[in-house]
Each structure stands twice: as structure tokens, then as C-alpha cells.
């Protein structure tokens, strides 16, 4: 029963953080998101529950959380990429778990089956193995101060979070084409909004689209660059892609004139394949 409540508590946390725009990763707050998600996968697998519910049943838990929380927070806005994020993370966990378990076994042999707190943190953060899995393979209990030490370590090396400079809460989510197909380099879209760049003397060069294959900087991976051909403006270079909430802001190398209204205009996008690789 304890593990039932762990899964329910973790999935509720995941619903709130990912709905707010956070993505699972290996750094910062994103690493906490990935750790508790992988702990859910581990517990469900260990108890034979995953075989009974599968991915569809797992996603249904989140839908029930939405219903349960609706009275407090109101209806949750649609997040089309949520299910795809879960599928990608599950696939990564499966492959990471099998490959890195062999590395953990080598480390245990080298350390004569005694792991230091630094070993635990390194295996979790660098190899992506959950604390529960480490405990299972090493036959050692999870150290009581593990998560405190992880938090303290992040506090010592972490930098202050960037100030949120743009309000995108009223805009629809940018469709994340890179999650659907990471090999897709060309796409069509429409302009949703154009923002002034507060870091570049309010130059109007931040374009938000209804969907995009450009990967914004997140999870330790740098942003894509490439080209946009915008109706009424022409071909421009994309020099940066920034995720703010659920939207991707494309920084272009040209300024949009004040008299030119691009909202609703068609766009052809092309990602720089060489940089992506």
C-alpha cells in the first residue's frame, strides 16, 4: 500500500511540474522530475503492475488527478505533448536501465559491494539509475540522507534560476514536433505571436509558432538553429530557440517592422541538421 501511495503522490507532482513547462532532464529541477518518474516506472515494474496497466493505464492516472484537482485549480489546459513525453522517458529508462546496470555491477565489484554517498549520487545523476534500483542490485538500503545530500550538492553548484522575461500563459502550447519525430527537419506552421526581445533593446525578433521542430535549450541539450520563411517577411535565420512555459520562442536575425502584422501568417521551417546531430 505504501508503494501505491508513492506512485499516486509522484504522478500528482509530475502532472503539476510538467504542466507548468518543466521537462525531465539530468540537470537542476528537471533531474528531480526524471528521478521521481523513473521511481514510478521501477515500482510499477517491480510489483507487476505495469504489465496490468501499461502506458495507457499510466496516463489514465494523470487524467484522474486532473479530475480530482479540478475543484482546486480549475480545468487543466490541454497539453498535447504530455503523453509523448512519458513515452520517450519510459523508452529512455528501459534502455538506460539495462545498459547502466552493468556499469553499476562493475562499480560494486570494485568497491567490494560498499557504496559511498558520493557513489549513490553519481550513479543516480550520471547513469540515470533510480535509488530503488541501486538498492535492489547492491542489497543495500537507500541512505537516509541521500536526497538531502543531492539537494545540498545542487545548491552548491547550481545557479539562480533565470528571471521569466515573457508572459506566454495566455498563448496555446507550441506543438512539439521534435517529440513526435526527432528526424523531422522541415515543417509548416503559422505565427501565433511576435515579441520584443528585452535582451536586445526590445528588437521585435521573437516569433512564436503554433508548432515547431526546433528544439529549445533544455535538459542540458543546446537549442536548434535553422531557417524560417515567413509570409510577408521572407527567409530569416533562427539563431536561438527558448522555451517559456509551453511555448517556444524563435529568435530570428531580422527585426519585424511595427507595421507588419505576422500573426496568422504561414511559415516554412527548416532545422539545421548538422547542428542537431
pLDDT, one tens digit for every residue, the chain (277 residues): 999 999 999 999 999 999 988 888 876 678 889 889 999 999 999 999 999 999 999 999 999 999 999 999 899 988 889 999 999 999 988 877 666 778 888 888 888 888 999 898 888 877 777 788 888 888 889 898 887 887 777 666 655 556 678 999 899 999 999 888 888 999 999 999 999 999 999 999 999 999 999 999 886 788 999 999 999 999 999 999 999 989 999 999 999 999 999 999 999 999 999 999 8
Q: Which domain holds residue 125?
A: 2-157
Does residue 148 share a domain with residue 42? yes
**Can you give the pLDDT at residue 185?**
96
Does residue 150 share a domain with residue 13? yes
State the Cα angle at 229 between 208 and 78, rounded to 5°.
30
Q: Where does a domain end: 124, 157, 190?
A: 157
Does residue 138 share a domain with residue 183? no
Does residue 150 share a domain with residue 198? no
Q: Is residue 122 part of a domain?
A: yes
Does residue 214 share a domain with residue 91? no
Does residue 118 share a domain with residue 66? yes
DSSP the chain: -HHHHHHHHHHHHHHHHHHTT----SSHHHHHHHHHHHHHHHHHHHTT-HHHHHHHHHHHHHHHHHHHHHHHH-PPPP-TTHHHHHHHHHHHHHHHHHHHHHHHHHHHHHTTT---HHHHHHHHHHH---HHHHHHHHT-PPPTTHHHHHHHHHHHH--PPPP-----TTSPPPEEHHHH-TT--EEEEEEEEEEEETTTTTEEEEEEESEE-PPPSBTTBPPP-EEEEETTTEEEEEEEEEEETTEEEEEESSPPPTT---TT-EEEEEE-HHHH-
What's 237's domain CATH number?
Answer: 2.40.30.130
Q: Where does a domain end: 97, 127, 157?
A: 157
Q: Is residue 163 part of a domain?
A: no
Q: Is residue 162 part of a domain?
A: no
Query: How much is the pTM?
Result: 0.51
Does residue 186 share a domain with residue 119? no
**Can you give the pLDDT at residue 157?**
62
Does residue 212 share a domain with residue 115? no
Q: Is residue 86 part of a domain?
A: yes
Does residue 240 share a domain with residue 139? no
Q: Is residue 89 part of a domain?
A: yes
**Can you give the pLDDT at residue 263?**
95
Does residue 190 share a domain with residue 251? yes
Does residue 185 share a domain with residue 63? no
Give the count of domains, the chain: 2
Q: Where does a domain end: 157, 190, 212?
A: 157
**Can you give the pLDDT at residue 30?**
83
Does residue 89 share a domain with residue 204? no
Amino acid at each position: 500500500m505504501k508503494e501505491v501511495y508513492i506512485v499516486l503522490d509522484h504522478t500528482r507532482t509530475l502532472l503539476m511540474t510538467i504542466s507548468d513547462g518543466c521537462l525531465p532532464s539530468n540537470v537542476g529541477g528537471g533531474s528531480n522530475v526524471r528521478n521521481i518518474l523513473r521511481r514510478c516506472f521501477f515500482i510499477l515494474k517491480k510489483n507487476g503492475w505495469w504489465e496490468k496497466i501499461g502506458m495507457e493505464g499510466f496516463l489514465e492516472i494523470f487524467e484522474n488527478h486532473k479530475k480530482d484537482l479540478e475543484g482546486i485549480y480549475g480545468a487543466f489546459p490541454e497539453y498535447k505533448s504530455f503523453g509523448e513525453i512519458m513515452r520517450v522517458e519510459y523508452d529512455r529508462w528501459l534502455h538506460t536501465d539495462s545498459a547502466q546496470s552493468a556499469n553499476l555491477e562493475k562499480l560494486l565489484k570494485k568497491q567490494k559491494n560498499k557504496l559511498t554517498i558520493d557513489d549513490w549520487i553519481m550513479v543516480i545523476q550520471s547513469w540515470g539509475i533510480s535509488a530503488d534500483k541501486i538498492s535492489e542490485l547492491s542489497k543495500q538500503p537507500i541512505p537516509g540522507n541521500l536526497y538531502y545530500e543531492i539537494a545540498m550538492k545542487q545548491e552548491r553548484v547550481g545557479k539562480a534560476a533565470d528571471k521569466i522575461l515573457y508572459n506566454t500563459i495566455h498563448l496555446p502550447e507550441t506543438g512539439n514536433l521534435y517529440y513526435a519525430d526527432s528526424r523531422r527537419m522541415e515543417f509548416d506552421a503559422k505565427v501565433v505571436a511576435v515579441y520584443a526581445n528585452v535582451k536586445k533593446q526590445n528588437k521585435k525578433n521573437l516569433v512564436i509558432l503554433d508548432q515547431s521542430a526546433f528544439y529549445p535549450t533544455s535538459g542540458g541539450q543546446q537549442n536548434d538553429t535553422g531557417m524560417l520563411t515567413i509570409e510577408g517577411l521572407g527567409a530569416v535565420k533562427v539563431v536561438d530557440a527558448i522555451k517559456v512555459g509551453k511555448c517556444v520562442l524563435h529568435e530570428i536575425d531580422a527585426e519585424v517592422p511595427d507595421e507588419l502584422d505576422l500573426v496568422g501568417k504561414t511559415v516554412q521551417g527548416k532545422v539545421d541538421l548538422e547542428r542537431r546531430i
